Each structure stands twice: as C-alpha cells, then as structure tokens.
Amino acid sequence: MKPAPASLRHRVERLRAEIERHNRLYHVLDNPEIPDAAYDRLMAELRALEQQHPELVVPESPTQRVGGSPVPEFAEVRHQLPMLSLDNAFAREDVEAFDRRVRERLETDEQIGYACEPKLDGLAVSLTYRDGLLALGATRGDGTIGEDVTHNIRTIPTVPLRLSGRGWPDLLEVRGEVFMSSAGFDEMNRRANEKGEKIFVNPRNAAAGSLRQLDPRLTASRPLEIYFYSAGRVEGKPLPDLHSEILKVLRGWGLRTSPETQVVTGVDGLLGYYEDIGRRRSSLRYQIDGVVYKVDSIEQQRRLGFVARAPRWQIAHKFPAEEEMTTVRAIEWQVGRTGALTPVARLEPVFVGGVTVSNATLHNIDELKRKDVRVGDSVIIRRAGDVIPEVVRVIIEKRPSKSSSVRLPQKCPVCGSAVEREEGEAVARCTGALTCPAQLKESLRHFASRRALDIEGLGTRLIDQLVDAGLVRNPGDLFKLTVEQLANLDRMGDRSAANVVESLEHSKQTTFARFLHALGIRDVGEATAEVLAQHFRSLDALRSSPAEAIEEVPDVGPVTAGHVHAFFADSRNAKVIDALIQHRVRWPAVQGNSMRDSPLSGKTIVLTGKLSTMSREEAGDHIRKLGGKVAGSVSKNTDLVVAGGDAGSKLKKATQLGVKVLEEAEFLKLIGRKR
C-alpha cells in the first residue's frame, strides 16, 4: 500500500487535535462551540481517512475509543500507592472531632483550610498516563489490587486519551469516580425496558456493572462519565502544594473535576458546605451520598499520615440515613469465624438507600431483646451509604396478635454443638470450633485472605464447595488438594485448578506474624500478631507460654492473653497447627532483638521531619515491631523524638521539655538498620 502523503498526515493530525479540542469544550468545560452535526462531520472525515490509510491509526485517536475484541478475563493490577478507604462522619460532633484531631496532630490552633467536594455514588478507578497518553485504567478493588479495565475506560467520552495542554509529568496517575447521571440512567433503563432487557436498580450498580464488562462495545453503549478527585503517583515533575491547585492543573490537562469543589476554613466552613450541598442535592445531575473533606495542604497531608487503611487528613460526611418500613419474614442465626451467633432479620424486600434490602442485622441477643423484634413485625429499616442495613425500631401498633419473643438457641443452628455465652459478654458462641461448617468456612476465608496467607484464587464460592464436598475439614487440608479434585468442582477447569494449587504452594512461605494472624485467634489482629511474633520469636516458645507470660507482651491485656493461651491449649487447634507445619508452611527466623530486649520496648516515640532512608510510616512499623509506641505529638510522657530533615514545632517542643532527640543515623543504629 502506498504511504500517505505528508499533506494527508498533516490533515489527520489537525482533525484529531480539533476533535479533542471540541471534546474538551463539550465534556470538561461544558462550553461547546459547534453543533453535534458539525462534530459528527469531523469524526466521519477522520474515520474515512484512517480507513483508507490504516498505518495512520494510533491508540490515542478519537476514533479508537471503541474498538478491539472482548477480553477473556480481567488482569490484576497492583496499585503502587494504595487506594485507601475513608472514615465516615454522620453528625456535627464527628466533624468537630475530625477537625480537632487534625489540629492536634499538626500542633496548631489556627484554622485549617479544607478542599470539599460531593461524594459521588459511583465506582472508584485509577488512570495512568505516560508521556500524556492513557496507558492504564484500573478499578479500586480491595485498595491494593484492582482489575485492568483499560479497554472499557477508553470508551468513556469524558476520559481524555491524550492529555491537553503541556507540562504534564512523565507519569501521572489520577484517581476518579465513574458514574452515571440521573438522566442518563433513566434513559438507559427506558431503552432497555422497550427492548425487554435487564433494568438496573440504581445508577451506582449500573456504572459498576458497565465498567466490568468484558466487551468494550457494551460499555461504550452505557452513559458513563467520570470526575477526577486526586493525583496518585507522579514522576518527572512535581504538582502544586495545595490539593485545590492540583485539581486546577488537572482540569487544564483535560481531566474533568467536580464543579462543586470548594475550599473552606475550619469547622464552620465544612458544615456550611455540607448544608449547602444538602439543600441542592436533589437538583444535582448525579446521585451523591455525602461530601468529602480533605486537608488542602499537601505538606500537612504528609504530616498527618494514615491510620490503618484510611488517611487522617480526609473524611466523608454522609447524609442522613434513609429509612423505609417493611415486614420481618423470619429471624435466623448466622455463625461467624469465632463462633459468634448473630441474629439476622429476613425481610420483605424493600427499596431503601438506592438498593433493595431483604436482610438486616440485629447485632446480638441483647440488642434483639432490647428492640423486641419478632417474626411478623412491621419495622423501620435504615441504610446509610455502604453501612449494613439495620432494624431501627418496631411499630408495635402493627404487631400481629399472636407473636412471641425470639430466644437464643441452645444448639448451633449449623452443626448442633452447644451454644455458650460467657458472663458479661453480649455475644453467644457455638462451641463446635472447626467441626462447625459455618465457622470452618469463615476461618478458611480469613486464613486465605490477603493480609493472612494471601492464597490467590481461594474465594468464597470455592471454599463453600470444598467444605460442602468434605474435601477440607481444617486449614491443613487445603495443602492436600490436587488439581484433579479442584478441576471437578463447579466453575473450575484445569487451568484454574492448577493456579490455585500453585498459589497454595506459594503461600507456604510466609512470616511468623502472618501465620499467627491467619490462625484466627480471638482478638489477635495484624498488630497483635506482630507484637507476639516479635516478643516470642518462635512458635514453640509461644505455644508453651502460660497466659501470664503472654500478658507481658506490650499492648496485650489479660483477656487477649487468655484467648491466645486457650487457643494453643486446645488439642483440636494443636492438630491443625501440626498439620500445617507438616505441609511445610514455614517462615524465616524473626530477626533483630526480641521486644523484651529492645531498647524501644514500652517507650513512646514521636517522629518529626523527613527521613532520608524510609518513610515515617515505615519508621513507625519498625518502632512497633520493637515494642515501642508511636505518638503524634510531644508531651511530658514522650520518651524519644526522632528528628529528620526540616523538623519543626515538635522538635522545638521536645527541646523545651527536655525530651531526648535522636537524629536519623542514631535511630537507624537503634533499630539495627544500616543506611
């Protein structure tokens, strides 16, 4: 084929630039210059030229938004910077407490500047641009690992395939929310109804389902939009020092942000914004379930850091919960991983808070008695955001004449074992342990979870099948599974089965702390497992320790110590642990000083300034592993302050109080780490 002449190449480039300019005017700036018919003519000309000269087609061309074949499956994407969850506020007091915590950690009495925006009810995604071109689109997933949906992201008109303007970094990762407008959702459902196709329940479910289609042509047919709300990884050029200024820069590059974003000061500013958006909520063109507050200063965000899986510098202020009335069909008991029996109300399905609700938690037997919920009762159901629906109250006037109170079962509804309730506890428990299928299933899910042994492919459906088929009776049985056994299960083929067996083999190499966490001991989460591992350093030492010795571990109280000792004293658990060791589940020896010998054991330490060898989060992990506690502010109870570069008011206060200050080199020596 004869190559395209230079004049034609130039025309194609001009057309692409013109079309992208009009896309930005229409989708980002909401200020179109030409009618739809004129835009369509430009697209038609470009498409015709590319068809005549396929060598001119490039991935970022406007004609390539919908193209390519369906993908066979979604690939996993590991987020280099985790996409964290948000803590929630529901009342004025929660917002005041949030602002107070921020100011205390920043050690300032001055009012804080906050960037505020509506909390869209959609699906969070991460987009990566390399040299200004869209390279990757991924869902949030569990915050650490999402799914590659680049083929579908490209079909969304408000996503630029090439960044506008100039001066963007070599690599730019941006986070956003994919959603459907209310009008787009209604129109999509109207057309689907005419064709006799599936009707979606709400815009959020419709957006999530549309983005997770294997065929991009189906995604392209749905009215998806996106608003970008933050930047993630950035390489090659720094972004501004204020979150609000970063959003302005993103808009300049063609990345659409919420027009409702606003910077306010202090609690009054936050609540004023919340009330204003609340008044206008019904007139917005999309659904929201609250607003999000973020500390505007990026430097202050860094200083505030994170707690667990949520940033300390932002919070979601949810709108009041939505309530509806329905009828209780039945009250059943669910059995959890630790044997806890939770009463659950099975309801006449009712639409509330954007979803159809047919179950609601009753928490525990005391709560059930307090509310006196009975089968046949008319009840008020509340749902707020993603919170599990709950029964708020019973409408006594509507109660059937013949009804009786619900009693705590004496036998486990799953395995028939005795149910016991310790004195002073609200929770009753099945005593069947791993002989109870319900407890076994939940234990296996925990054992295989990402923060425990991280066994990929061992999900809820597969675990249910393995237990129901009698193939797995305890965690040790997992490592006996063969490809043939797995391949015979529902929705499992040879390839999937082989992947699970390979993942099981890979998971055998773990750490002592992860192993302890995976065992599912009551009250032993990740942090407690870490301090136990560091303190005892070996499984034999921990198994042979009395409760009194376990209680000596920092932050382990008598109740938790009792649970740990009882777990290892139980012969059933001992058999499971021995089986796991026989199957070569192993870990490297715990290095460094034990907590008992650590110079940081029991000490309260404050980190300030910028460390050159690690982040402050990593430094905090080292301190906790060695038995120390990390505090956010300096007081007379502070034992040490670790000062990095540009240390500020905390260093000054430490000097005033006479608290010992360590430079980074001294700190590294103390924790046994080289530069």
The mean per-residue pLDDT over the stretch 529-544 comes to 90
The mean per-residue pLDDT over the stretch 491-497 comes to 90
Asked whether the beta carbons of 95 and 317 are under 8 A apart, the reply is yes
pLDDT bucket at 608, cuts 50 / 70 / 90:
confident
Query: What distance in Å separates the CA atoms of residue 573 and residue 543, rounded to the nearest whole number?
Result: 11
- Nearest 5°: phi and psi at 517? -65, -40
pLDDT bucket at 217, cuts 50 / 70 / 90:
confident
Where is pLDDT greater, at 625 or 135?
135
pLDDT bucket at 420, cuts 50 / 70 / 90:
very high
pLDDT at residue 470, as a whole number = 93
Class of residue 285 by CB neighbours under 10 A (exposed 0-12, middle 13-18, buried 19+): exposed
Dihedral angle computed from the Cα positions of residues 263, 267, 271 and 276, in that order, rounded to the nearest 10 degrees: -30
In the structure encoding, which two tokens stand for residue 120, read together?
């869209």
Where is pLDDT greater, at 114 or 18?
114
If you average pLDDT over each of 33-47, 329-343, 523-537, 655-669, which comes out highest? 329-343
pLDDT in tens, 375-394: 999 999 987 655 678 888 89
- Nearest 5°: phi and psi at 202? -150, 165
Q: What angle do CA 186, 188, 191 make, to 5 degrees?
A: 110
The mean per-residue pLDDT over the stretch 323-336 comes to 93
Query: What distance in Å separates the CA atoms of residue 603 and residue 627, rounded to the nearest whole number?
Result: 8
pLDDT at residue 557, as a whole number = 86
The mean per-residue pLDDT over the stretch 80-108 comes to 90
pLDDT bucket at 23, cuts 50 / 70 / 90:
confident
In the structure encoding, which two tokens stand for residue 668, read together?
């590294």
Where is pLDDT greater, at 155 or 23?
155
End-to-end CA distance of the chain: 60
pLDDT at residue 29, as a whole number = 60
Question: Is the CATH number of domain 92-318 3.30.470.30?
Answer: yes
Which of the residue ranges 87-101, 170-184, 462-476, 604-618 would you say has the lowest mean pLDDT? 604-618
pLDDT in tens, 237-288: 899 999 999 999 999 999 999 999 999 999 999 999 999 999 898 889 898 9
The mean per-residue pLDDT over the stretch 96-117 comes to 93
Asked whether the beta carbons of 250 and 227 are under 8 A apart, the reply is no
For residue 180, give Cα distances in angstroms to 86, 251, 481, 605: 22, 20, 44, 47
pLDDT bucket at 562, cuts 50 / 70 / 90:
very high
DSSP result, 429-484: EETTGGGSHHHHHHHHHHHHSTTTT--TT--HHHHHHHHHTTS-SSGGGGGG--HH
Active site residue 294: no
Query: What distance in Å separates the CA atoms of residue 488 and residue 491, rounded to the nearest whole number?
Result: 9
- In three-state form (DSSP H/G/I as H, E/B as E, the rest C), the secondary structure along 246-264 is HHHHHHHCCCCCCCCCEEE
pLDDT at residue 70, as a whole number = 57
- Nearest 5°: phi and psi at 541? -65, -40
pLDDT at residue 43, as a whole number = 77
Dihedral angle computed from the Cα positions of residues 160, 161, 166 and 169, in that order, rounded to the nearest 10 degrees: 100
Q: What angle do CA 378, 428, 382 make, to 5 degrees?
A: 30
195 Cβ contact list (under 8 Å, min separation 6)? none
Q: Give percent of the chain with pLDDT exceeding 90.
A: 46
Nearest to 258 by CA among 138, 158, 169: 158
Rg (C-alpha) for the chain, rounded Å, is 29
pLDDT in tens, 611-637: 878 877 678 777 877 777 777 778 878
Asked whether the beta carbons of 554 and 627 are under 8 A apart, the reply is yes
pLDDT bucket at 57, cuts 50 / 70 / 90:
confident
Query: What distance in Å separates the CA atoms of residue 372 and residue 393, rounded to the nearest whole number?
Result: 9
CATH number for the domain whose boundaries are 604-670: 3.40.50.10190
Which of the residue ranges 293-297, 398-402, 430-434, 573-577 would you say has the lowest mean pLDDT? 430-434
pLDDT bucket at 27, cuts 50 / 70 / 90:
low
Which of the residue ranges 36-45, 128-137, 310-319, 567-576 would you say has the lowest mean pLDDT? 36-45
Q: Residue written as tokens 């054991």?
A: 601
Where is pLDDT greater, at 625 or 476?
476
pLDDT at residue 30, as a whole number = 57
For residue 566, give Cα distances in angstroms to 263, 521, 561, 571: 53, 9, 9, 10
pLDDT at residue 344, as a whole number = 94
Instruction: Tell me which long-range contacts 47-53 makes (C-beta under 8 A, separation of at least 24).
Output: 49/8, 49/11, 49/12, 49/15, 50/12, 53/1, 53/3, 53/4, 53/8, 53/12
Q: Regarding the domain with residue range 6-64, which homologous superfamily does it belong to in the CATH classification? A: Helix hairpin bin (1.10.287.610)
Which CATH entry fits the domain spanning 433-507: 3.10.20.30, 3.30.450.30, 3.90.79.10, 1.10.150.20? Answer: 1.10.150.20
- Greatest CA span in the chain, whole angstroms? 88
pLDDT at residue 652, as a whole number = 80
pLDDT in tens, 162-207: 998 888 999 999 999 999 998 898 888 888 877 777 777 778 888 8
Query: What distance in Å separates the CA atoms of residue 233 and residue 216, rounded to the nearest whole number?
Result: 27
pLDDT at residue 674, as a whole number = 64
pLDDT bucket at 597, cuts 50 / 70 / 90:
low
* Neighbour tally for 86: CB within 10 Å: 18
Q: What is the mean pLDDT of the chain?
A: 87
Query: What distance in Å separates the CA atoms of residue 455 and residue 289, rounded to the nearest whole number?
Result: 34
pLDDT at residue 71, as a whole number = 60
Considering the segment(s) 323-398 as one domain, its CATH architecture is Beta Barrel (2.40)
Instruction: Give domain limits for the chain.
Output: 6-64, 92-318, 323-398, 433-507, 512-582, 604-670
CATH number for the domain whose boundaries are 512-582: 1.10.150.20
Query: What distance in Å separates the CA atoms of residue 384 and residue 380, rounded to the nearest whole number?
Result: 13
Asked whether the beta carbons of 331 and 367 are under 8 A apart, the reply is no
Query: What distance in Å separates the CA atoms of residue 17 and residue 92, rounded to the nearest whole number?
Result: 49
pLDDT in tens, 287-308: 898 999 999 999 999 999 887 6
Query: One fold for both 6-64 and 92-318?
Result: no
Where is pLDDT greater, at 326 or 435?
326
pLDDT at residue 269, as a whole number = 95
pLDDT at residue 308, as a whole number = 60
Per this entry, what is the length of the chain?
Answer: 675
Q: Residue written as tokens 């301090």?
A: 531
Active-site residue identified among 2, 119, 318, 508: 119
Task: With a cut of 80, say whether residue 595 has pLDDT above it.
Answer: no
